[in-house]
Amino acid sequence: MDQQLLSSRAIRGMYFARLESDPGTNWLDGVSNFFGSDQASETYNFLGQTPMMREWIGGRQAKGFSGDGLTIINKHYEATLEIQKKDARRDKTGQIRARVDEFADRSQTHWASLTSALIVNGATSLCYDGQYFFDTDHVTGDSGSQSNKIDADISAFPATLHGIVTDPSVEEMQQAITAGIVAILKLKDDKGEPMNENASAFLVMVPIGLMKAALGAVSQLVPAMLQQNLNPNLLRNFRVEVVMNVRLTSAGWTDKFVIFRTDSPIKALIRQSEQEVEMKMKAEGSEYEFDNDAWQMGIDAWRGVGYGYWQRAVQVTLI
């Protein structure tokens, strides 16, 4: 008698139970905005800076959307897992759960994969102003030439211990992170006004090799920043988080990292979803089961990513 001990419904339950766990990509909300979509692509024309308050002379002077913008296309993504019916019948629950859990994890980390690709390619991909996202000569209106792609010469930093660009000392990393934050604070809008003057929350994203130095640096960062003559009132509620992104390491990053401002309404990156992850199964009673003695579990989604404000991120290269 063919006694089935594990049903497709139970496997579906494993998948959704796993989705409740923390996928380890909580940094996404800090570096990117999430927008819903109801068509094949969305065009964002909101990326002009919002106006500063001015003295009321001669009536109001409204500022609409900027002529600059970008279009993000929704692409179709899928993943399909096959489970042999005999494994379900023989109650290989542990093995099946492991595969289903990993399948769920992959669906959870897909946004991290897409946004990490934007970060990795930021120095060679165009953003809304027609420049590379990470570039040394951004110009917006009356801002003058600005850079969100800087070098940090660690050999020139005052430090009791010196390292190398792929393994800097904590003191050197501390000063490199400070230089990146200062670069963000200096960025101006199209009227020449500071864009990030009230910023107090930042995320330092590093490859594996720079993780240790970054963690040590951040733990003592505020005292070091006071030495840079930054506003003490700004530093009172200062928060800097370190995130290690293995995808940067896989892309060959060994001597550079990125700093994001995370407390602003408009972020550095954009995530766009037309259809969130949907799960479908060919299971008991299906033609696929009849022909292959197996079940298939498929997920798919329509989504896209793009660059938002380049003024919310700085790439730092150690030299």
- Indicate whether 15 pLDDT > 80: yes
* Percent of the chain topping pLDDT 70: 86
- Indicate whether 5 pLDDT > 80: no
Look at residues 80, 77, 148, 81 and name the one whose alpha carbon lies nearest to residue 114.
Answer: 77
- pLDDT-derived band at 308 (thresholds 50, 70, 90) equals very high
Q: Give the residue, 10 or 231, on which the prediction is more confident.
A: 10
Q: Give the residue, 159 or 151, on which the prediction is more confident.
A: 151
- Indicate whether 313 pLDDT > 60: yes
Q: How far apart are CA 280 and CA 283, in angstroms?
A: 9
Name the pTM for this structure: 0.86
Tokens for 47?
């990326």
Mean pLDDT of 10-36: 87
Tokens for 236?
């009172």
- Indicate whether 64 pLDDT > 50: no
| Residue 193 contacts residue 237 (beta carbons within 8 Å) | no
**Chain-centre distance for alpha carbon 65:** 25
- pLDDT-derived band at 226 (thresholds 50, 70, 90) equals low
Tokens for 86?
């005999």
